[in-house]
Each structure stands twice: as C-alpha cells, then as structure tokens.
Amino acid sequence: MALAPLRALVVACSAALVLASCSTGDDTTVAGKADSSNELTIAVAYDQPGLGVRRLDGAYRGFDVDVARYVAKELGVEESGITFTEATPSEREKLLTSGAADLVVSSYSITDKRKEVIDFVGPYFVAGQDLLVRLTDERITGPESLNSGNLKLCSVANTTSAQYVKDQFAQSVQLVEYPNFSDCVTALLAEQVDAMTTDDVILAGYAAQNPELLRVVNRPFSKEEYGIGMRKGDPTSRAKVTAAVRKMIDTGEWRKSLEANVGASGYAIPDPPELAS
C-alpha cells in the first residue's frame, strides 16, 4: 500500500476511535441512549392545560413539555429526536420500569412510595393541592367543607390527591376516580361530582379554559414537589438530568416557560425550588 493512503487510513481509524470513546454506547442508560442514538422517549401529560397538552394538530405544549425538551437538548437530543408518549397517572411507574419511556415529566409528585420503584430528579416545581368547583357553587370553601351534604370529590387514579383529602380533612366525602384529569372536569361540568382535587397549577389551567363555568377555591392545603421520573440504577444520567434542570432555572428559561404557559390564568408563579443533588 502507498504511504499516503496508509496515512489516510490511520487518520480515519484514529478518528473513529475518538468518536467511539466519546459515546457511552450503553443504550440501557438514558444518557447512553441519547448519546448513541440521538433519540429519547419522554412521557408527558396530554390533558393538563399549562403543563402538558397534546393539541389537535399533534403539537405538544406546556411547562412540563418545555422541561422535557430542555433536558433532552442538554443530553444532545434535538426535538426531532424526541418521541412523546402519554403519561397517564396510573401508568407512570410502569412506563419507566418496562422501558416504554426513558423519562416521565408529568406533574409527577415525589413520594417515598414511588421512590421505592423509580428515581426522581427534582423537585423542579412545587405546587399546592387545591379544589376546582363550579363557578356558582358556594358550598365548598376548603377541604373541610367536603364533609357535609354527601358531596362527591373527583380525582385521578394513582395520584396522591383524593385520598389525602379524605384522610386529613373530609372522612365522609365520596371519592370518585377517573383515568384522566379531563374526565374529572367533564364530570364536574355535568354535575356528576361536586369538586375536583389535584395540584393548583393544573386546576388553574382548567379554570382558565372555562372561566365562565369553573373556579379554583384558592386555598392550597398541601405541598406537591414535582420530579422527573427515571429508572433506578442510572446515577450518571440522573446527574446529567439534574444539571440540565439547574441550567434551565439559572438561565431564566424556567420562569419564561411558566409565564408563557400559566401566567395568563392569574396563577402566581413561585420562586424555583432548590434541586436535590
């Protein structure tokens, strides 16, 4: 072989080795998959105005969606490489443990029970639990008032909200559970239930969509810390996702997204929380 072609071959091989060494090559980790394939599957809500919505034109909008996009980009994945899938509350842990999703960014409250199954990065947002009622219904002024009159309280299966109300404030309230938040809103509008409970930022989004029919009681009674769900046993990826969220907060993109997505509802945007290491 001539000297010049030989040198070219050596250079090409060296470049290939450098590229290989830069990639983790481990598709079992989030960072490895992002690095090797430039693709990620991220589960978000489809029916939470202001946080996560899949519009009729197929576009995804909301604060959680923006967080998902920002984290993915920091991991090296452009929006064209993101596959969004629906994160219904009852399926979130399963999406991660089965490998159907790499990350879950969907108003996912950090709890000790959930941390037995998955890992979290966060909190990246702190909400307060509240109640959504019909605009003209004056009976419900807070969670304690749900004790009277055989009232029905709606929430979504596998969330922490409704049982907390029953355990702490209103033992006699009748709980009604549906798969999705939008189902609760439909039941509330149809007068099949008397109130809906979940995080105040979610309720604000629904009230903004139906200001002539619904209102938030505006008496928060819990603290819900949102985390990004990940599979257990992936500390390197967890550190990288944490760094991405911290950067989103520090650069002002965090607040900018909240103002764009929920500011119009009148929801008071809080200060960013302190991220756990």
| 118-168 pLDDT tens trace | 999 999 999 999 999 999 999 999 999 998 888 999 998 877 787 889 889
Q: Does 200 lie in the same domain as 133?
A: yes
Position 258 confidence tier, pLDDT thresholds 50, 70, 90: very high
- Indicate if 253 and 117 belong to the same structural domain: yes
Res 226: pLDDT? 97
| 69 and 181 co-located in one domain | no
Domain assignment present for residue 3? The answer is: no
Count CA within 13 A, CB hemisphere, residue 39. Answer: 7
Whether the pLDDT of residue 199 is over 70: the answer is yes
In a domain, 95, yes or no: yes
Q: Is 5 a member of any domain?
A: no
Express as a percent the part of the chain with pLDDT over 70: 91
pLDDT at 9 over 80: no
Do 169 and 236 belong together in one domain?
no
- 200 shares a domain with 72: no
249 lies in some domain: yes
Same structural domain, 173 and 198: yes
Task: Classify strands 119-127 and 82-86 as parallel, antiparallel or unpaired.
Answer: unpaired
Range of the domain at 87: 27-127+224-265
Indicate whether 96 and 64 sit together in one domain.
yes
- Provide the domain count of the chain: 2
Instruction: Tell me what pLDDT residue 5 has.
Output: 46
Is-contact 158 182, C-beta < 8 A?
A: no
- pTM passes above 0.85: no
Mean of pLDDT over the chain: 89
